[in-house]
Chain A
Amino acid sequence: MIPAAFEYYRPKDIEGVLAILEQHGDDARVMAGGHSLIPMMKLRMADVPHLIDLQDVGGLSGIEVTGDSIRLGALVTQAQIIDSAELTRAAPILREAALQIADPQVRYMGTIGGNVANGDPGNDMPGLMQCLDASFSLIGPDGAREVAARDFYEAAYMTDREDDEVLTAVTLPLPQGGYAYEKQKRKIGDYATAAAAVQITGQGGTCTSASIAMTNLSDTPIFSEDAGEALVGTTVDDAAIKAAMAAMLGDIDPTEDNRGPVAFKKHVAGVILRRAITRAWSRA
């Protein structure tokens, strides 16, 4: 498992990154933590003649929590998400989810930017960001733009990001109410068999808003608007949860792999969602 030869770049600023991207086009790719990209290169499934390491680029790190939103620099690692007390107070679901990604060694390297930009349906952060209605800041030769997480994913490894654009930050509104990130996996370090992100608010025992997204059950993360809708206005009783599960099952499209056949995945997706809703509601 040895990658093909490549040129290695370590620019200091985003202009430097963009210049290399412009010069080499498809042949150049940015690397953040490298824990998705390097394995792909070693398997020779990704051919990257020009590798641009983002680690020294200024302005891509830092966690900022303000009155109504959170901004995570693209290079913020999963370990930093777990360790930030401020972030955990503001959005505890981020920590709960990050703790279920891989293992500590991977989490020291893996970044939020790499995780959401990668486009692997197995990654946990994309679904979570859809649940939280985050947006991604991109910068390219034509300037900067924002894309909603819910509009970003097109197919496996296909996103709205152009090859010559860099993701600089993830911004999300301060989450409200109860939360849960529920994930079934075969072992520590494994991607999800099924995972559900739920953020939910209520008043006087009635659900006022609910946001639900699922991971690794289609070739993109699935934000199931209907599943959330099914809970709003209910007391989140068994009937409502069943309706949400049914709505979610209508949105996902899992495929068979070593984790199991489609029927199993659908069943587990329902179970996981039920548990996530129940836990989130108990915290609302």
Chain B
Amino acid sequence: MKDEITRDERIDNLKGMGCSRKRVEDARFTQGKGNYVDDVKLDGMLFGDFVRSPYAHARITNIDSAAALEVPGVLAVLTAKDLEPLGLHWMPTLAGDKQMVLADGKVLFQGQEVAFVVAEDRYAAADGIEAVEVDYEELPVIVDPFESLKSDVILREDTVDENGRPTDGAHGPRNHPNHIFTWEAGDKAPTEEVLANAEIVAEESMYYHRTHPCPLETCGCVASMDKVNGKLTLWGTFQAPHAIRTIVSLISGIEEHNIRVISPDIGGGFGNKVGAYPGYVCSVVASIVTGKPVKWIEDRMDNLMTTAFARDYWMKGKISATKEGKITGLHCHVTADHGGFDACADPTKFPAGFMNICTGSYDIPTAYLAVDGVYTNKAPGGVSYRCSFRVTEAVYFIERMIEVLAIKLNMDAAELRRINFIKKEQFPYKAALGWEYDSGDYHTAWDKALKTVDYEGLRAEQAQRVEDFKAGKTRKLMGIGLSFFTEIVGAGPVKNCDILGLGMFDSCEIRIHPTGSAIARLGTISQGQGHATTFAQILASEIGLPADSITIEEGDTDTAPYGLGTYGSRSTPVAGAATAMAGRKIRAKAQMIAAYLLEVHDNDVEFDVDRFVVKGAPERFKTMKEVAFAAYNQAIPGIEPGLEAVSYYDPPNMTYPFGAYVCVMDIDVDTGVPDIRRFYALDDCGTRINPMIIEGQVHGGLTEALAVALGQEIAYDDMGNCKTGTLMDFFLPTAWEVPNYETDYTVTPSPHHPIGAKGVGESPHVGGVPCFSNAVQDAFRAFGNTHTNMPHDHWRIWKTANELGLHD
């Protein structure tokens, strides 16, 4: 046979790894043809919605549903009393705590679910909600975690013994009724000793405010119990459909094979859709009770005020160094506000997530971290909003501590970073707080970033600006924000990562069809990341069939292999690895078939792009397409028919993407308005599968970083009223507020990942937040600022300027 096209053309035709292949999902998304959970419409479907508490802390003395049941279209009103006989009035959280499904005698946060009104449609449900009468007896409200730990108001009576003393929690002893856990990493005494004897110690307290992932599509589900065959089908906005199936089975007693969970298209998750919510439980119960499908969809206020917030960490740091700036020790204490229930979505053994990555990209020999979780009268959650578990908090902490130390040392913050980076030859690097970083080349990335933005030129310009400001020639200051981050993603090795006992492996199952096309199913679920595009590219390169001939399917637990879902940038590191490994199994079998067809020994053929060639005789080959056909139509001795494979991948380690970001900002001192002039983002996510998708992820992650740094918060007043429950006050930037991002990269593959990829979806958020924040803070450095808390909205920036005496 003669080749009509070149080898390079054959590679291009596959649209495999490295190709900026257009997203196959976009044809439907851009035409409004997506299929989201609210698009699921079933015969006779009912709608359920919640009566929610207007109070942040109150006892419920009575719930009267009589008038609601009179409202036309209202069929039922469920309360905790109805769920109690089923044992479903409380449910377990992912963090080992439990949470009320419906208020069991009291409420602990504003917006808490009190009763579930089931009606013929959502309009009748809304009217029914208005008609339910609930008698509340207000209780003292605690919105401050420090006050909570001193208060004699017990928020959770279910967590104390008869003497009011705290019982042990899921993570050990508790020292106060409102205390949830203490979690430690590193060495306390040695760290304290290093700090006590250090030449230089910088200290800072910082509050990483509460915010919210706010996906475009809110949370929701449709539960449909088929009483004839005993099967429950549950469609929902689930970032982890298999885990949801197992949890539903465990808490409802329905056997797992009788439950089918389907995540259809999901309109963004960012961590908000990892947990289990009362709406899911109530919909399932309502479907069982009524025998009809029941839909529950949050509105925007429900979403912002009740499902899964992020952050809310009060962090106290101490960092020590030599006079030359070599860091010798790091101490961090966190008071973590978890709200009324501990519903964090972290691997079970990590109640503060991977906060212990807080030594960052630096070679810090000694460190200690302690985190105290606290109950308050705020909504539960504590999810990882576009980051691996608490990594945004960790990176913000260290990138602020570096800046604070630079100020103390009167040193350039870029140089301080450079002299403390872990060196290329130190990888794999064992960090003081326990992690083993897989690979990195920080100096190269940093130098490239600083050179591209002309860092020295920027500093010179900034110095001139300060002079001009002092001379009254301008009212604008210039800030240069730096950040260098190391993430920890791809949870994770089953030996230390599980959620409720489910190991955090992931999976891929591939079926090759006779005509040389394929379907692959994974245990993950895309929420906009473009899995159908990128996973097909991995496979295309691994098995030599064009990506366009490979369907990727996720989200249906009846068809997809078991996996732990998509969050914490784990899809590529874990399921992507499973995909490559399953592809290699396909290739191994295909090689035997090809050898048989070519009448040579298995070892005498080798894989080349899209075919197996006889070694030394490249004109003799069988394409993968031909092999696929042979797998189904030839009786090959010793080989089963068909061409399928499945892989469950237990990663040997996490992956550690990193990056170098620079932001240049002009700040109007009089109005507090920042203007982002430039943003440069260099990401190293190891092997790059689809550069266009990476760039899209970086743009999105940076925009969410800008939001969080510059204004996005969930704020409460003293009475526990949420002040930011609508998009009028909860800051979602539009194209108008967003600067032009410059993206760049280096490539340092992960040594333990089959294709060397590390994951990128969350890096820009993790690195972006400190970068924007550092830019604001840096603008005021010349005037004595060391630290101010985010969010840097107009009035807080103005306040900084005001307190520094910059207004006349």
Q: Which residues of A contact B (CB under 8 A)?
A: 1-2, 4-5, 44, 103, 184, 186-191, 193, 258-261, 263-264, 267-268, 271-272
User: Could you tell me if A259 and B795 are in contact, using CB atoms closer than 8 angstroms?
Assistant: yes
User: Could you tell me if A268 and B671 are in contact, using CB atoms closer than 8 angstroms?
Assistant: yes
Query: Closest CB of chain A to B448's CB: distance in Å?
Result: 33
B residues in contact with A1, CB < 8 Å: 299-301
Known: A2-B123, A190-B728, A259-B794. 11 other contacts (CB 8 A): A4-B126, A103-B734, A184-B673, A186-B711, A186-B731, A187-B736, A187-B737, A188-B734, A260-B793, A264-B672, A264-B802
- Minimum CB distance partner of B728 in chain A: A190
Q: A188-B736, A268-B671 are in contact. Are A261 and B126 (CB under 8 A)?
A: no
Number of interface residues of B (CB under 8 A): 30
CB-defined A-B contacts under 8 Å, sample of 10: A4-B126, A186-B793, A187-B711, A187-B736, A188-B737, A189-B734, A258-B729, A267-B802, A268-B672, A271-B671
The CA-CA distance from A270 to B562 in the complex, in Å, is: 62
Judge if B192 is at the interface, Cβ distance under 8 Å: no
B residues in contact with A188, CB < 8 Å: 734, 736-737
The CA-CA distance from A259 to B299 in the complex, in Å, is: 24
B residues in contact with A263, CB < 8 Å: 802
Judge if B147 is at the interface, Cβ distance under 8 Å: no
User: Could you tell me if A260 and B728 are in contact, using CB atoms closer than 8 angstroms?
Assistant: no
Query: Closest CB of chain A to B341's CB: distance in Å?
Result: 25
The CA-CA distance from A1 to B298 in the complex, in Å, is: 9
User: Could you tell me if A264 and B300 are in contact, using CB atoms closer than 8 angstroms?
Assistant: no
Query: Closest CB of chain B to A99's CB: distance in Å?
Result: 12
User: Could you tell me if B729 and A184 are in contact, using CB atoms closer than 8 angstroms?
Assistant: no
B327-353 contacts to A (CB < 8 Å) = none
User: Could you tell me if B794 and A4 are in contact, using CB atoms closer than 8 angstroms?
Assistant: no
The CA-CA distance from A187 to B794 in the complex, in Å, is: 11
User: Could you tell me if B794 and A258 are in contact, using CB atoms closer than 8 angstroms?
Assistant: no
Q: A258-B729, A267-B670, A271-B671 are in contact. Are A2 and B122 (CB under 8 A)?
A: yes
Judge if B724 is at the interface, Cβ distance under 8 Å: yes
The CA-CA distance from A191 to B727 in the complex, in Å, is: 12
B residues in contact with A5, CB < 8 Å: 123, 127
The CA-CA distance from A218 to B737 in the complex, in Å, is: 27
For the complex of A and B, 6 pairs with smallest distance between CB atoms: A260-B795, A2-B126, A188-B736, A264-B795, A271-B670, A258-B729
The CA-CA distance from A190 to B798 in the complex, in Å, is: 19
B residues in contact with A271, CB < 8 Å: 670-671
Interface bits B99-132 vs A (CB < 8 Å: 1, else 0) = 0000000000000000000000011001100100
User: Could you tell me if A261 and B734 are in contact, using CB atoms closer than 8 angstroms?
Assistant: no
B residues in contact with A261, CB < 8 Å: 795
The CA-CA distance from A271 to B734 in the complex, in Å, is: 25
A residues in contact with B729, CB < 8 Å: 258
User: Could you tell me if A260 and B794 are in contact, using CB atoms closer than 8 angstroms?
Assistant: yes
Query: Closest CB of chain B to A44's CB: distance in Å?
Result: 7
User: Could you tell me if A258 and B715 are in contact, using CB atoms closer than 8 angstroms?
Assistant: yes
A44, A190, A191, A271 — most chain B CB neighbours (10 Å): A271
Interface bits B722-741 vs A (CB < 8 Å: 1, else 0) = 01100011010110110000
**A264 touches which of B301, B728, B737, B799 (Cβ 8 Å):** B799
Query: Closest CB of chain A to B384's CB: distance in Å?
Result: 25
Judge if B807 is at the interface, Cβ distance under 8 Å: yes
Query: Closest CB of chain A to B703's CB: distance in Å?
Result: 12
The CA-CA distance from A2 to B122 in the complex, in Å, is: 8
- Minimum CB distance partner of A274 in chain B: B670
Query: Closest CB of chain A to B476's CB: distance in Å?
Result: 13
Query: Closest CB of chain A to B374's CB: distance in Å?
Result: 25
Query: Closest CB of chain B to A124's CB: distance in Å?
Result: 15
B residues in contact with A267, CB < 8 Å: 670, 798, 802, 807
A residues in contact with B670, CB < 8 Å: 267-268, 271
User: Could you tell me if B737 and A260 are in contact, using CB atoms closer than 8 angstroms?
Assistant: no
The CA-CA distance from A103 to B733 in the complex, in Å, is: 13
Query: Closest CB of chain A to B123's CB: distance in Å?
Result: 6
Interface bits B768-808 vs A (CB < 8 Å: 1, else 0) = 00000000000000000000000001110011001000010
Query: Closest CB of chain B to A68's CB: distance in Å?
Result: 37
User: Could you tell me if A187 and B122 are in contact, using CB atoms closer than 8 angstroms?
Assistant: no
Query: Closest CB of chain B to A167's CB: distance in Å?
Result: 25
Query: Closest CB of chain A to B724's CB: distance in Å?
Result: 7
User: Could you tell me if B794 and A184 are in contact, using CB atoms closer than 8 angstroms?
Assistant: yes
The CA-CA distance from A44 to B123 in the complex, in Å, is: 13
The CA-CA distance from A4 to B125 in the complex, in Å, is: 11
User: Could you tell me if A4 and B731 are in contact, using CB atoms closer than 8 angstroms?
Assistant: no
The CA-CA distance from A241 to B733 in the complex, in Å, is: 34
The CA-CA distance from A170 to B48 in the complex, in Å, is: 46
The CA-CA distance from A263 to B803 in the complex, in Å, is: 12
B residues in contact with A189, CB < 8 Å: 734
The CA-CA distance from A268 to B151 in the complex, in Å, is: 39
- Minimum CB distance partner of B726 in chain A: A43
- Minimum CB distance partner of B669 in chain A: A271
B residues in contact with A191, CB < 8 Å: 728
**B794 touches which of A44, A103, A186 (Cβ 8 Å):** A186
A residues in contact with B711, CB < 8 Å: 186-187
A residues in contact with B673, CB < 8 Å: 184
Query: Closest CB of chain A to B38's CB: distance in Å?
Result: 14
B residues in contact with A272, CB < 8 Å: 671
User: Could you tell me if A187 and B798 are in contact, using CB atoms closer than 8 angstroms?
Assistant: no
User: Could you tell me if A264 and B798 are in contact, using CB atoms closer than 8 angstroms?
Assistant: yes
Query: Closest CB of chain A to B122's CB: distance in Å?
Result: 6
The CA-CA distance from A60 to B731 in the complex, in Å, is: 36
A residues in contact with B724, CB < 8 Å: 258
Query: Closest CB of chain A to B664's CB: distance in Å?
Result: 21
A residues in contact with B671, CB < 8 Å: 184, 268, 271-272
B233-265 contacts to A (CB < 8 Å) = none
A residues in contact with B798, CB < 8 Å: 260, 264, 267-268
B673, B733, B737 — most chain A CB neighbours (10 Å): B673
User: Could you tell me if B130 and A44 are in contact, using CB atoms closer than 8 angstroms?
Assistant: yes
A residues in contact with B300, CB < 8 Å: 1
B residues in contact with A4, CB < 8 Å: 126-127, 130
A residues in contact with B794, CB < 8 Å: 184, 186, 193, 259-260, 264, 268
- Minimum CB distance partner of A4 in chain B: B127
Query: Closest CB of chain A to B427's CB: distance in Å?
Result: 42
Interface bits B697-736 vs A (CB < 8 Å: 1, else 0) = 0000000000000010001000000011000110101101
A residues in contact with B731, CB < 8 Å: 186-187
